[in-house]
Amino acid sequence: MAKYKTEPLKCWAKAKELRDKYYQDYATAHERGGIRWTGGAWSFDAIPYGLGDDVYPITGEPYAASIAFNKEFSLKCMEATEAKGWARDLCSYMRNYWGSMYLNKYNFGGPYPKPTFAFQDHICCSHAKWYQVVAEHEDIPYFNIDVSVGPYHLIKDNPQKIKYIVDQMHESIEFLEKVTGREYNDDKLIEAVKTDMRSTSTWAKICELNKNVPAPLEEKSMYSFYVFGTLSKAKKEFADFYDELYDEVKDRVDRGIAAVANERCRLMSDTQPPWGFLKVFRYLEKYGAISVGSLYTFGLVGNWEVKKDGTWGARETYMEKGIEINTRDEALTALADWTLSRPEWQHFYDPGLKTEMMLRIAKEWKLTGVMLHLNRGCEGLSTGIMENRLGLVESGIPVMTFEGNMGDEREFDLGRTMTRIDSFMETLDLEPISAD
Amino acid sequence: MITAGVDVGAKTVKIVVLRDREVVATAKDLSGFDQAKVASELLAQALEKANVTQGDLAGICSTGAGRKIVSEATHSVTEVSAGAKGSLFINPDVRTVIDVGAEEGRAIRCTEKGKVEDFAVNEKCAAGSGAFTESMARALEVDVAELGKLSLGSDASVPMNAQCAVFAESEVVSLLHAETPKQDISKAIHDAIASRITSMARRIGLNKEVLVIGGVALNVGFIRSLNEAIEMDVIVADDPEFVNALGAALIAAERAN
Amino acid sequence: MFSKFEEWYRDRHDYARAWKEKSSGKVFGCFCSYVPEEILVAANILPVRVLGSHEPQDVTEPHLFGMFCPFCRDVLAQGLKGRYEYLDGITLAQSCIHLRQAYRSWEQHVDQPFSYYLPHPMSVQSPAAVPYLREELENYKKAVEEFTGSKITNDDLDRGIRILNENREAMHELYKHRIGPEPKLSGKEAMWVTVSSTWIDKEEHTAEIRRVLKLIEEREMDRECGAKLMFVGSENDDIEFINMVESVGATVVVDDHCTGTRYFWNSTADDMNDRIEAIAKRYVERPACPSKDHPVRTRFPHILKLAKDFDVQGVILIQQKFCDPHEADMVPLRKYLEENDIPCLFLEFDVTVPLGPFRIRVEAFLEMVGEEDLF
Ligand code: SF4
Ligand code: SF4
């Protein structure tokens, strides 16, 4: 007998449709006289929206993850990148993306749609280099904003850090006007900044609902939703979708609907999963175990803050707080301030900050243990991961690690990983509930 | 109560039959292509040696990479649980188990009750497993048993690029060309593998007593290098290859209760 | 002639301990060549660059995931093994993620009274970089002042700038003797000099270069020059490797490493009213680490110019395994150099390099370079 009731999510179809439309819109933007640009999931995508309503981005990380999911094409992309001489241990998203570009094949059919310009942020060593190569290959202009000014708690007392970023943002608007020949619209920018705040705080609210037992969402389905925040945080349709999703998940909580019927062991993961092998998450169900999220799914897209009672909740938006945004400079400053507070940005400087956040999640989301993906594909999110492991273990939280690669299946061993999970479950005294 | 543990490893299958926590028979064979068949036949042999039939058994627990193919098994556990269980049975003071088999190295930290607290596995790296000593022995044109003894004759420390087994092999060749004595090369090889294993074991912390199990524990050269690397004396299990099978048999007995 | 430098290279820790005793000053470990040493020297602190020891080790795996570069792991191992126990402080200037982790683990697991993470602009090509770094350097200066308990005055800064610049000038003069058909020093000797300059008291180091410079004109080399090569790439202070290369018919005459020319190539302006801004400018404008070299690749023409000025016949591209910043430059760099008729040999470095297999590759490369000479 199952412990909890389960139900499929109603939002699925809508999510799929929105995602497909995003990639189609990008591909067909030029036919409609629009602009398409490429950049990272970390880019300030609100800024190009000031160029008009017909601006369509493609962000490299989720695009590359979609390639990784398509194993056959991914392998071709990897090989194309390797044939150019690039090292196999570089960021595997970057290698998938470059491969698609070198092969001139779009993962959603047809040739790779050439962007008008590249617009990137820099916090990981690979960020700026990624689009440097793209810009050279595609012969397109490129702007990059360095955001590596340190963790947020040090920023408040150092206005020059925000200023450095805002200065570059101003510069980037001049760049955008120059390379597109369009006049920049500050009202559209302000709107986009507000939308960014709305979508990223709503995503945090959705993740917060997973504090409930049983959890209404498991991480594998969260991947299909958090992705919108990596595609474009400032896109109105996506922010609206998050509002809808929130209502649905809230309703599940109210009615006690679980993601996993026999939930009895709550875990979190870390870093991007091996995209071609999400069945690892299904394997957990055999033990009644569920991954209720991760700092990665919560904090790459979601904006959080410590609430009065000391727990984590969605960060209040400027609108909720009644702070007005009226000028370009105010909008850019607000965007910088908002973005820099995002959890996944903090650990680049200090693994201690990440351990602290993970311990917080472990406590507030009522976890039994942690599964760390030692992800050879991403130097950025693997930064400091062994110190995180030590920190968690020292705090008495059981941790298992498994090595793999989010985007290069040649570096992942499914059988061994499942054995690793078996061992971990044994150490937690959990026996399988169901057969394989 | 009689139980059996079946350890289906990458290279060999090992079986231990227990009667009232006492070993009454063991058996070992190469796993070959048809592991399931080898395991069944070997189990039959071991039972015969112990003078019992399958019907007498209260449980059979399988472990090892091929644990899921043992159709006779009533339970199955991973090498981590089996290794910890078997090790604590051999020596209750053990807190750290180092298990070096043909294809994988593992380190396990356990409590005095034999509960696994933490474990680490050498990821896809030949340089920390038996496969490494074998390929190095080939490069040196000696057999593995001899390789270990050779290194005892050396006090040299020739650094070797231990990160990668492929490079290590060509390095051995160039050391040979440079007329480095074989015993020094052999020492370098064992230092390299001991360093890999120590690195991994440090992840979980090294607490006394440290017991070494798995086939590579029989290699005296490795044990000596390991003692130096971790700066304490390890204990080598008697019949180190059978400890996982023993642990599995013990688990079968516990589960039958 | 270079034995002092060799000794300094070899006995770096003895030197630092002795310096401390003699001067009763403080010693800071510098992670990365972007640490503004002018400020430390102004505060009478001895900056020492923390490097690895090229020995296999088994202590870093609990702290650093194996996908990060061997150099940063070797650095951390030195700390965990207590080799730098004399340090009073450490500073990381932000560049790549790899070294950053070695710094953080060191900070956490090795005791020292002072530790500072110095944010450093990655977009050095942006006009916003100098004003930003200026502010960060002000903060750093303040932190150092608080730690030592004494103010750093403009006069102190002038002294710091002068001492650093004098060493840089002397290095340039020495490097001039590597130009021409008969370089007056081997690459190995130059490596002793350059690498030791990152931890020896700069005035003492400059004086020793000056002493050598007086004698070097008259020096008779007892070795054939062979093919003239350049090293380009990740951190490299591997004496055994350069020795091997120079033992098979080559001389290394110039480099682009953070432990080589990138460290000393440009000076700090000594005529600016705002000293901190002058220092900020120096570190923003210096030959870039690939992690900071974007959107335009400024490194490539700089490297080509060095190769031409020093008249090299080939380049050995050296990359620490897993070093993302250099990996992201290697492919276009190689293409660029080869298009400019400079042949390249690519080698991947680990904590220890497999000299045997590498020797074979270097010899083959030299044959190729030599043949091209015939036509
Ligand atoms: S390494 Fe990771 S953080 Fe860096 S660009 Fe790649 S995916 Fe992003
Ligand atoms: S630049 Fe390369 S060699 Fe230097 S620390 Fe970073 S990753 Fe290592």
Regarding the beta carbon of C288 and ligand 2, being less than 6 Å apart is answered no
Helix, strand or coil, per DSSP, at residue C154: helix
Asked whether C358 lines ligand 2 (CB < 6 A), one says no
Residue C136 lies in a domain: yes
Window 25-54 of C, Cβ < 8 Å to A = none
Q: Which residue of A has its CA nearest to B84?
A: A427
Q: Residues A132, A133, A136, CA angle at the centre, nearest 5°?
A: 85
What would the pLDDT profile of A195-211 be if each residue is shown by its tens digit?
Answer: 999 999 999 999 999 99
CA of A127 to the centre of ligand 1 (A): 7
- In this prediction, residues A118-132 reach a mean pLDDT of 96
A55-59: strand order across its sheet:
A55-59, A35-39, A117-122, A142-146
Q: Do B101 and B51 reside in the same domain of the chain?
A: no
Q: What percent of chain B has pLDDT over 90?
A: 58
Q: Which residues of chain B have pLDDT under 70?
A: 123-127, 161-167
Pocket test for ligand 2, best of C65, C76, C98 (most atoms within 8 A of CB): C98
Q: Are both B171 and B212 inside the same structural domain?
A: yes
Residues in chain B closer than 8 A to C60 (CB atoms): 199
- Please tell me what DSSP assigns to residue A251: H
Evaluate the omega torsion of the peptide bond into residue A214 and state whether it is cis, within 30 degrees of 0: yes
Shared domain for B81 and B96, answered yes or no, is no
Band (pLDDT 50/70/90 cuts) for residue A436 is low
Tokens of C70: 């061997």
> By CA distance, what is C60's nearest residue in A?
A386
Centre of ligand 2 from the C-alpha of residue C62, in Å? 20
Q: Which of A374, A389, A423 sits opposite B80 (nearest CB)?
A: A423
What's the rounded Cα separation, in Å, for the pair A27 and A235?
17
Å between A91 CA and nearest CA of chain B: 19
For residue B85, the enclosing domain spans 1-90+241-257
Average the pLDDT over each of A4-8, A172-176, C56-60 and give the range with the smallest value: C56-60
- B81 and B60 housed in the same domain: yes
C-alpha distance from B165 to closest chain C C-alpha (Å): 12
Reading chain C (375 residues) residue by residue, the pLDDT tens digits are 999 999 999 999 999 999 999 998 999 999 999 999 999 999 999 999 999 999 888 999 999 998 999 999 999 999 999 999 999 999 999 999 999 999 999 999 999 999 999 999 999 999 999 999 999 999 999 999 999 999 999 999 999 999 999 999 999 999 999 999 999 999 999 999 999 999 999 999 999 999 999 999 999 888 889 999 999 999 999 999 999 999 999 999 999 999 999 999 999 999 999 999 999 999 999 999 999 999 999 999 999 999 999 999 999 999 999 999 999 999 999 999 999 999 999 999 988 888 878 888 999 999 988 865 544
User: In chain A, what residues touch C322 (CB-CB under 8 Å)?
Assistant: 89
- Kindly report the backbone phi and psi dihedral angles of residue A312, in degrees, each rounded to the nearest multiple of 5, phi listed first: -85, 135
Judging contacts by C-beta atoms under 8 Å, the chain A residues touching residue B120 are: 401
State the DSSP code for A147: -
- Tell me, yes or no, whether B43 and B73 share the same domain: yes
Q: Which residues of B touch C (CB under 8 A)?
A: 159-164, 167, 170-171, 173-175, 177-178, 191-192, 195-196, 198-200, 202-203, 229
Question: In chain B, what residues touch C65 (CB-CB under 8 Å)?
Answer: none
**Interchain contact, C56 vs B175, CB within 8 Å:** no
The alpha carbons of chain B give a radius of gyration, in whole angstroms, of: 19
Instruction: Look at residue A206 in the predicted model and tell me its pLDDT.
Output: 98
Residue C203 lies in a domain: no
Task: Give the residue whose CA is nearest to atom 5 of ligand 2.
Answer: C99
- Residue C225 within any structural domain of the chain: no
Total domain count, chain B: 2
| The pLDDT of residue A110 is above 80 | yes
Is-contact C76 C105, C-beta < 8 A? yes
Say if CB A102 and CB A76 are below 8 A apart.
Answer: no
Q: Which of B117, B119, B124 has its CB closest to that of A423?
A: B119
What are A112's two structure tokens?
A: 């790779």
One domain, residues B125 and B54: no
Task: Please tell me the predicted confidence (pLDDT) of residue B115.
Answer: 87
- Is C99 close to ligand 2, i.e. is its CB under 6 Å away? yes
What is the DSSP code string of A31-79? GGT-EEEEE-TTS-TTTGGGG-S-EEEEEHHHHHHHHHHSHHHHHHHHH
- Residue C108 lies inside a defined structural domain of this protein: yes
Indicate the average pLDDT of chain C.
Answer: 95
The mean pLDDT of chain A is 96
- B77 and B102 housed in the same domain: no
CA C305 and chain centroid, separation = 19
Chain B CB within 8 Å of residue A387 CB:
no
Same domain? For B204 and B251 the reply is no
Interatomic CA distance for residues C93 and A8, integer angstroms = 50
Nearest CA to ligand 1 atom 6: A91
Least Cα separation, residue C101 to chain A (angstroms): 6
B64 and B143 share one domain: no
Residue B77 and residue B48 share a domain: yes
Q: Does residue C323 line the site of ligand 2, with CB under 6 A? A: yes
Read off the DSSP letter of residue A16.
H
- Residue B34's contacts (CB-CB under 8 Å, 6 or more residues apart) are none
* CATH assignment at residue C86: 3.40.50.11890
The answer to whether residue C107 is domain-embedded is yes
What is this model's ipTM? 0.95
Tell me the sheet residues that pair with B121.
B106
Of A143, A146, A386, the CB nearest to C122: A146
Question: Same domain, yes or no, for B229 and B148?
Answer: yes
Q: What is the mean pLDDT of residues A245-257?
A: 98
Neighbours of chain B (3+ CB pairs under 8 A): A, C
Q: What is the pLDDT of residues A54-69, one digit of tens each?
A: 999 999 999 999 999 9
- One domain for residues B223 and B255: no
Tell me what pLDDT residue B149 has.
87
Query: Ligand 2 centroid to C66 CA: how many Å?
Result: 14
Residues contacting ligand 1 via CB (< 6 Å)? A 61, 91, 93-94, 124, 126-127, 378-381
Q: What is the pLDDT of residue A216?
A: 98
* Chain C: closest CA distance from residue A159 (Å): 10
pLDDT of residue C374: 46
CB distance C98 to ligand 2 below 6 Å: yes
Q: Which residues of C touch A171 (CB under 8 A)?
A: 126-128
| pLDDT tens digits, one per residue of A259-268 | 999 999 999 9
Distance, CA of C194 to CA of A388 (rounded, Å): 37
Looking at the 3D structure of chain C, how many domains does it have?
A: 1
Name the phi and psi angles at B86, rounded to 5.
-60, -40
Q: What are phi and psi of C355, to 5 degrees?
A: -60, -40
In-domain check, residue C40: yes
Which atom of ligand 2 lies nearest, measured to the CA of C99?
5
CB A173 within 8 A of CB A50: yes
> Rounded to the nearest 10 degrees, how much is the dihedral formed by the CA atoms of A143, A149, A152, A156?
-110
Q: pLDDT tens for residues C11-43?
A: 999 999 999 999 989 999 999 999 999 999 999
Q: Which helix (H) or strand (E) holds B180?
A: none
Can you give the pTM of this predicted structure?
A: 0.93
Residue C92 lies in a domain: yes
Q: What is the pLDDT of residue B153?
A: 87
Ligand 2 centre distance from Cα of residue A65 (Å): 27
CATH no. for residue B29?
Answer: 3.30.420.40
The predicted pLDDT at position B127 comes to: 67
**Would the CB atoms of A423 and B115 count as touching at under 8 Å?**
no
Q: Is B100 exposed, middle or buried (0-12, 13-18, 19+ CB in 10 A)?
A: buried
Atom of ligand 2 nearest to the CA of C326: 2
